[in-house]
Structure 1
């Protein structure tokens, strides 16, 4: 394969992030979008070009709900082959208590007392259900680093850590 073919066939995947964010009552921050009102889902969205994943999820949660978060780590990686979207799911904690929905794409945002027993009442889509359950039941997070090259410079790192399981 020559370089022109490689360029033409270069993958154009979308990278997105979402997060399982809890407050001091261990309630989970959930949103409903205008185009998916049939289900609650974890807040998140598309990563911007050159943006670190942990910064992207902090930005997305703030834009959608007005909530500032502390990112704890990654609980799962998921791929939608129909839409070519790679989604990285984080765990985090809320640093604020008041939701101030800011994004026009969000229909509703709430902290919900989510459990394994009631999750199906809120999340109606199987891909959202598996991501949320994985994050809810995660015992630890994987490490995550952001680097720049030439010269190599570590911009940020989230250490592997144990999580408290609900």
Structure 2
């Protein structure tokens, strides 16, 4: 049987502010853990633009994605998740109450991350992003005409 695969593409970001604190949210459907803000990519939307939009919608914070730190696949729910590292550009923390219960900036370290993030899949993604010093290049393109719309390829240590 020939079936066209159906997948959801999601994005999230490990967002840090000028004090090195990490932006975390607690959602209604996963209220047992803190996690990085993010959500589903809309059809035709670049991944970098999707993560900017999702973080802004959920938290009121405008970010600048720096690079991709990991790609993860949930085989049960058919969700491909792309995680970015990002910096705060502007904005005041304000949550979208229909999705987000709480949000805040926390001084998360590898030693105390388990106090915040309790789900193994969220923990591994966050640790990978915290440890990332080199990022996977990412670009959004169009065809006919071929054009690069955006590109992230920073490889500097932060």
**TM-score band (shorter)?**
over 0.9
Show the counterpart of 1:49: 43
Secondary structure of the structure 1 residue equivalent to 2:111: coil
What is the distance in 1 between the residues matched to 2:62 and 2:9? 21
Map 1:90-101 → 2, pairs under 5 A? 90-96=84-90, 98-101=92-95
What is the distance in 1 between the residues matched to 2:91 and 2:62? 9
Deviations 1:28-51 (A, max 9, x none): 000000111110000000000000
Q: Is the 8 Å Cα contact of residues 76 and 88 (structure 1) preserved in structure 2?
A: yes
Which shifted more, 73-82 or 93-102?
93-102
Question: Is 1:153 aligned with 2:151?
Answer: no
- Count of matched residue positions in the alignment of Structure 1 and Structure 2: 158
Note the C-alpha offset of 1:100: 1.2
Show the counterpart of 2:106: 112
What is the distance in 2 between the residues matched to 1:143 and 1:86? 17
What is the distance in 1 between the residues matched to 2:30 and 2:145? 44
Deviations 1:6-40 (A, max 9, x none): 4xx11100000000000010000000001111100
Map 1:23-62 → 2, pairs under 5 A? 23-62=17-56
Higher CA-based Rg: 1
Task: Determine which of 7, 20, 26 is the counterpart of 2:14.
Answer: 20
- What RMSD over aligned residues (CA atoms) do the two structures have, in Å? 1.1
Map 1:127-142 → 2, pairs under 5 A? 127-142=121-136
What is the distance in 2 between the residues matched to 1:90 and 1:159? 12
What is the distance in 2 between the residues matched to 1:16 and 1:143? 17
